[in-house]
Amino acid sequence: MAALILLSWCVSCHSPQPTPVTVLPQGLLPSQAQVAEVRGFGARGRNPGGAWRKLQLSDWLAMGATVQTPPTTGLTLRLYEAGLLVHLKTNTVVRLEQLAYRRDGAAVTTFTVLDLSQGEVAVDDSNLTPGSEFEIRTPQGTTRIPPRGAR
């Protein structure tokens, strides 16, 4: 009986957690986010398949990463070369569902999906390029931010 309980504990504690995988449409390239500002202590992140780690200024997060801020900490992420800023408020959990781009000469079009399961984010969309897509999914619904010139 003790061996069965121990085995059960080992299986439940050490089995890998499923990692959602985002498949990009043809012609899109994956991107990353960089921690641009940390306000407080204790923000943490986890890249797909990785362990939770404390986030610091200039850390990189891959597409599919999850970021969590505690009740006393805010965080700003910089997306893409254009410097699109996403401000995570305190007590927020967000997954970087899709961070992708397409380059056509000098023009860059970005495709962003954030999965906000808890808390609040504020997006500085001043660098959102024409044709780009940006959406935030929440348990209540989805919000899309139109690119500049499309409003």
Query: For 116-133, what is each residue's pLDDT tens digit?
Result: 999 999 999 888 888 899
**Could you read off the pLDDT of 13-72 as tens digits, one per residue?**
333 344 455 667 778 889 999 999 999 999 999 999 999 999 999 999 999 999 999 999
- DSSP codes joined into one string, 19-40: ---PPPPTT-EE-EEEEEEEES
- What global pTM score does this model have? 0.80
Cα–Cα distance, 94 to 24 (Å, whole number)? 19
Count CB-CB contacts under 10 A for residue 132: 23
How far apart, in Å, are the Cα atoms of 45 and each of 23, 49, 51, 65, 106?
A: 21, 12, 8, 7, 32
Q: 3-class DSSP state for residue 112?
A: strand
Helix ranges restricted to H, the chain: 2-14
Return left, alpha or beta for 64; rule: phi > 0 is left, psi -120 to 50 is alpha, else beta: left
